[in-house]
Structure 1
């Protein structure tokens, strides 16, 4: 390759060049096809024609509503129009992924076995391994390897759906809520639970009702273990989960609740925990009627504080698990919760600094609909602030990797997500890898460093020149013939590039090979933003 090639010049300047170059956006292209309508939404009003009236560029809209625009998504949008496309996405219909992808998902342990079976079997191995510690550590290694394998399955399932599902908004919202209700898979045995947490606590409610979503997370063993509520009992109060439930999951910090409210909520949550065994604990007859068990979740009345509580000025009568139900409804209907959730959604989908006007409009929709997530989102999507923001939001690492792969392998099925998982680790955003409960930052300052951009350039080059490992299983049997992404020869991409900045187009024109052209395209400022 020539020493003065654009690829080498970009390599030399990548931290500065790409960081400066990440300040523009992208747009449009043509093509048709047909998508079946799922019928009228149960909650949403008819299409508002907001995007059509504003003459929104399809590529810009797709890059925000989906994990990244590609020809398949463009055809899906063109078949029904932009506004009806939004309606379809807000409905969150059942995802249908390509058969090769679905076969991978269906073959996973986390897809075939209930989480309680997985966890109990592993718990038995852990106990035996602990008994042999110091004499035979092979069982402990096997135990850790199995936890790692299950965590990889969970990450793989998420990534495959993000790349290939036609219900892209549902996939984005699943990731958003997984980040909002963050659990760190590295703690204890949570690697065995994280897949179930996503599949049964988050995913069914990602485009549903916030109160039901909140309830599902409170009753999931992964959350109870991560935030230590399994140790919260009458006489041994642990406030950890109660504090995060108010500060991070519902009302937000400095929203009016007090330390006393946290303490009272912790009392409500006493006895809410997990049971990895199969036996029901012995207890007095008068308490047994309050006992509740579902899978690994357990409400043990022997550990519960049955005294009356007062939270946010409301009296909560001591009566067992029903206190939890009442308190979750109370928290989900707080104006502070409506604003906190609306601000996070607007930060994720609109800008790092959404206006107070937009936040309040979304909060009003949240309260009026009793926490309906699609209604709240619709208010945001219909706003002029959302439309004006298109093309300006910096992609976080997951968005960058997935959007690049959606474009590169549209119509070609990845069978091994290990390289993607490795790229996300390199970029500092491994799935379920945030140790603190606040989740990953959604603002540009967290992801716009020169070092981050240099790593992204390496990822762009890996994708552009083809990554054969994506098409080989762990047994090294190629399930699909590897191919170099045809980005440089794609008419769809070429039409899209015509909307890029003059500087980007001139740089692309100097590429000496298709691989070089594809690298420069994937590393361009337009591909860094959504």
Structure 2
């Protein structure tokens, strides 16, 4: 068994060029749980929610102004034909926040002395996935991982769930910021004054919480549960980024980009969800639902299955799933206890490196091994991962990226990695000897065939390319 390689790559993000030997892999992983820094320098230096919201507000105001200008004769036909969004985005700070966040994420992962904790951060960010496909969400994606996920991965699942659900990125991505209670004071006023249906209820967030974040599919909840939960969630919105009544009723002093609760948007009355009655306690109503969902047996099984799959195989061992689920229920979703149970279990250590690294994992492990602080200009980082098939914070659906081997093992995807490895190796030239680097990075997973192929390479660059495209390095 390649114990050292599994510790560094299945649990971590690959060995760094200067890492000492991992004498006690399990103890090394356990220490990281206590040493994890949720706000390292690269992340702490980023601008906060107010600046991100301000960039989108500026964009929206400029777009409205351009639309007005488009109707004026003074504007040329060429200018009229340009897409206002593209014109604005080309010089907008919105994308800068996204790029800066992606760069900080990569810098942190490459430099981190606690790669196990970094992997757990990425796992949970993907479990509670948002996607930078919607314009209001783009700038918030990094902030979401850094403020909602990272600070809570060493707490309870309930606290992590609530932080994720209530972050502006999640509320905007799943349209919760525009969800109004059908019988809320605002909806009733619209019906009375304008003689038309009031603003509507949006069930996206409620459905995804039940299906993806907590209970999982086919676990007994009904459409009535989804609707009732959606009503309990009404009132949550984002300051400065909504429209209409939601913004007119915003509390004085609410900073742009902050999550707020507006009682006039909330559906009045108790809600019955999974057979339990929840009194109308305003913002506390949805929190009570979330805390109950967080410790539900179906949630324990769902989370245990996903965690076991990430650290073992497409079809995780039932015994490991059961052990993790039991720990989750026993501790009320204490996450460090769950991680300790995972590391102490035999199943993640039994199989050799068989799971394909995602493009993100592979690139980070390459950079850690080569002491590469960057792969070019920071603005090109999103394009790099898009080219490799895993755009940063853009999985395209609330389900996130999956962990299955077939997703990342396609021939076209592997060819992209070979080409990138060759380009990087060519740039480094003879400054790094793959023959010396391979035993460090592959450790006890280095097989004679790979070692011999690297030794026979025609050039140092070719040797590096062979190392990073080797079967062992491609897997975790």
> TM-score, normalised on structure 2?
0.85
Alignment of 1:454 onto 2:415: yes
Q: Provide, for residues 286-336 of structure 1, a one-character-per-residue CA deviation record: whole Å limited to 9, x for no partner.
A: x99xx9989521211111112111111111111211101110111001000
Counterpart pick for 2:157 among 206, 210, 213: 210
Q: Return 5+ residue gaps in structure 2 as ranges.
A: 183-199
Q: CA RMSD in A?
A: 2.9
More displaced stretch, 332-341 vs 113-122: 113-122
SS at match of 1:466: helix
Counterpart pick for 1:224 among 165, 171, 180: 171
Q: Provide, for residues 123-162 of structure 1, a one-character-per-residue CA deviation record: whole Å limited to 9, x for no partner.
A: 1332133222324669852445432222111111111111
CA 244–509 in structure 1, closer or farther in 2 if over 3 Å, else same: same
SS at match of 1:512: coil
Q: Which residue of 1 aligns with 2:388?
A: 427
Alignment of 1:330 onto 2:292: yes
SS at match of 2:205: helix
CA 510–497 in structure 1, closer or farther in 2 if over 3 Å, else same: farther
Alignment of 1:242 onto 2:206: yes
Q: Which residue of 2 aligns with 1:363?
A: 325
Number of paired residues?
A: 444
Q: Provide, for residues 371-424 of structure 1, a one-character-per-residue CA deviation record: whole Å limited to 9, x for no partner.
A: 1112112212211111103422211111111111111126x6667445553332
Counterparts of 1:185 and 1:195 in 2: how far apart (Å)?
10
Alignment of 1:158-197 (within 5 A): 158-197=105-144
Contact 2:327/2:341, CA 8 A, preserved across alignment: yes
Q: Provide, for residues 221-275 of structure 1, a one-character-per-residue CA deviation record: whole Å limited to 9, x for no partner.
A: 1101100111211112111111001001111001111111111101101111112
Counterparts of 2:204 and 2:173 in 1: how far apart (Å)?
10
Counterparts of 1:495 and 1:443 in 2: how far apart (Å)?
24
Counterparts of 1:230 and 1:494 in 2: how far apart (Å)?
49
Report the alpha carbon displacement of residue 497 of structure 1 after superposing the two structures with TM: 6.8
SS at match of 1:189: helix
Alignment of 1:509 onto 2:471: no
Q: Which residue of 2 aligns with 1:67?
A: 13
Counterparts of 1:189 and 1:241 in 2: how far apart (Å)?
16
Contact 2:180/2:234, CA 8 A, preserved across alignment: yes
> TM-score, normalised on structure 1?
0.77
Report the alpha carbon displacement of residue 93 of structure 1 after superposing the two structures with TM: 2.5
SS at match of 1:315: strand
Q: Which residue of 1 aligns with 2:350?
A: 388
Counterparts of 1:196 and 1:243 in 2: how far apart (Å)?
24
Alignment of 1:379 onto 2:379: no
Q: Which residue of 2 aligns with 1:46?
A: none
Q: Which residue of 2 aligns with 1:466?
A: 427
Counterparts of 1:300 and 1:229 in 2: how far apart (Å)?
13
Q: Return 5+ residue gaps in structure 1 as ranges.
A: 1-25, 28-56, 468-482
